[in-house]
Chain A
Amino acid sequence: MIKIHFVDHGGTERSVEVEDGISLMEAATQNLIPGIDGDCGGSCACATCHMHIDPEWLDRLPPIEDQENQMLDIVDLRDADSRLGCQVKVSPELDGIVVRTPIGQH
């Protein structure tokens, strides 16, 4: 099991343990983490799983592909730490990752 710390817009932290191999979006929606919707189900097509990755963990993530970059361009308040949760699979290297979630999604 992999541990993920979600910190919401108001600063409240929720820690969850999820199976190796699922995405950060699935980890959030399965655990009803507020602010993450995942409308398209993981096709990188809706940008409703926008999250901010703690900078310390950012370079351990796979690079942003074209389609994710294109979708990130339409989210509210994209910054250097922005990722779409559906494009990041959790793995033992990400055990303990810290993720900040936005107040809501378009």
Chain B
Amino acid sequence: MLSPNEVPLDQIDVADAELFRSDAVFGYFDRLRREDPIHYCSTNKLYGPYWSVTRFKDIVEVETKPQIFSSEARGITIEDDTLGLGTPMFIAMDPPKHGEQRMSVSPAVSPENLMNLEVGIRQRTNEVLDGLPVNQTFDWVDRVSIELTTQMLAILFGFPQEHRRMLTRWSEVGSASPESGSSVVESPEARMQELHMCLGYFTALWHQRAAAEPQPDLISMLAHAEATRDMPSRPLEFLGNLMLLIIGGNDTTRSTMSGSVLALNRNPEEYRKLCARPELVTSFVPEAIRWQTPLTHMRRTALCDTMLGGKQIRKGDRIVMWYLSGNRDPQSIERPDEFIIDRKNPRHQIAFGFGIHRCLGNRLAELQLRVLWEEALKRWNKPMQIEVVGDPVPVDTSIIFRGFSHLPVRINA
């Protein structure tokens, strides 16, 4: 097999899940950023032709021109309409509808509300950590990452905690793509059937909230906000927004909760630094998010002919912004291939995207990660004490999500 530097430039096609699973994609991104930062690929059979935007600055340019680069036209992932719903969710809408719907849920993650949430997050984190076995191998993904993010999601939705693993399942089903090979669901029909169960459950929850006084949970906020109060009458839009909030709040933070353990284990010097100076958690967290970049890309569609980085883009072209590449761009981030927990500007990174679609829950994600590591370091404060003892298993939706389905860990007491 040819190395990334030997493949003829015009044959480079990074949209291959296997390249992401093995991390081989980094070599291709390095080459594209150097030689062809806005790169056209016409040979991909699974997704069709697409542009790769690989430099940090060019990604920001695309993100800040929603009037040219649309989220609504053909969806937000390289695959057209991943959810099979016609993607009616606010992340995949253009202004002004996007702003109206986004503002209906944003109070849930306002600075004030995050302060209110922190006490509960800490309490649940402590319970989860207290329940972990020591001196024996367990799956960090299942016991910590999934458990914590799913509990959080249940709180945000006001969803019954005893049924919270249904959210985990719906997240997996929602992001699964049976067409391009997935072990999660058998067929597109089976997938839609499960998603309709999800819709039914939430519709009942919605009617309950709509009939009651407003509460600070997402369903109640949507049910009472002017722009969204009639959403269940458009079931696909309702399901689309549920999927956005479930997947956005689940698969992403979950991946960094796992990835942060892996990053420390692969960079023992940084692990030592963190144990010696636990106050570095505040910069370690955004650095771990950059390092992991749980969402590999987002996609836009050009609404008109335009120029981007010297390339002629045609109306209707598919533009893929590779966040994973932007976060390794040496022109915007110093020593980007190194994991450095005490960077000067750790939040100057692109994992949350930029522009009007920038991740709504970014500070909540940081909060959950910060509390997890503050509490973990109180219990286990020696370098390599939380030890990765086997190979991580990447998720099978790796073209979009950079995360793990299993991570064997042993806490050495």
Contacts and interface: CB of A to CB of B under 8 A. Distances in A.
Given A39-B348, A44-B64, A76-B111, A71 B356 contact: yes
Nearest to A40: B354
Nearest to B63: A45
A73 B378 CA distance: 40
Contact of A43 (B102, B352, B354): B354
Interface string B74-111: 00000000000000000000010001001100110111
A15 interface: no
Interface in B201-260: none
Interface in B312-363: 345, 347-349, 352, 354-356, 358, 360, 362-363
Interface stretch (A54-62, A79-87, A97-105): A97-105
Interface residues of A, number: 22
A41 B345 contact: yes
A47 B63 CA distance: 13
B112 interface: yes
B64 A67 contact: yes
Contacts of B354: 40, 43, 45-46
A40 B106 contact: no
B302 to A, nearest CB: 18
Nearest to A45: B354
B156 interface: no
Contacts, number: 62
B60 interface: yes
Interface residues of B, number: 28
B376 interface: no
B111 A70 contact: no
A74 interface: yes
A104 B103 CA distance: 17
A37 interface: yes
Interface in A24-76: 37, 39-41, 43-48, 67, 70-71, 73-74, 76
B363 A104 contact: yes
Interface string A88-106: 0000000000000011111
Interface of B: 60, 63-64, 66, 95, 99, 102-103, 106-107, 109-112, 114-115, 345, 347-349, 352, 354-356, 358, 360, 362-363
Contacts of B115: 103
Contacts of B110: 76-77, 106
A105 B99 contact: no
A46 B351 CA distance: 12
9 contacts: A37-B347, A45-B355, A45-B358, A46-B358, A70-B356, A73-B99, A76-B110, A106-B110, A106-B360
B343 to A, nearest CB: 13
A103 B347 contact: no
B378 to A, nearest CB: 24
A65 to B, nearest CB: 11
B89 to A, nearest CB: 16
B344 to A, nearest CB: 11
A89 B265 CA distance: 44
Contacts of A74: 99, 102-103, 106, 356, 358
A43 B60 contact: yes
Contacts of B99: 73-74
Given A40-B354, A44-B64, A71-B355, 19 more contacts: A39-B349, A40-B348, A41-B345, A43-B354, A45-B354, A46-B354, A46-B358, A70-B66, A70-B95, A70-B356, A71-B356, A73-B99, A73-B356, A74-B102, A102-B111, A104-B114, A106-B109, A106-B360, A106-B362
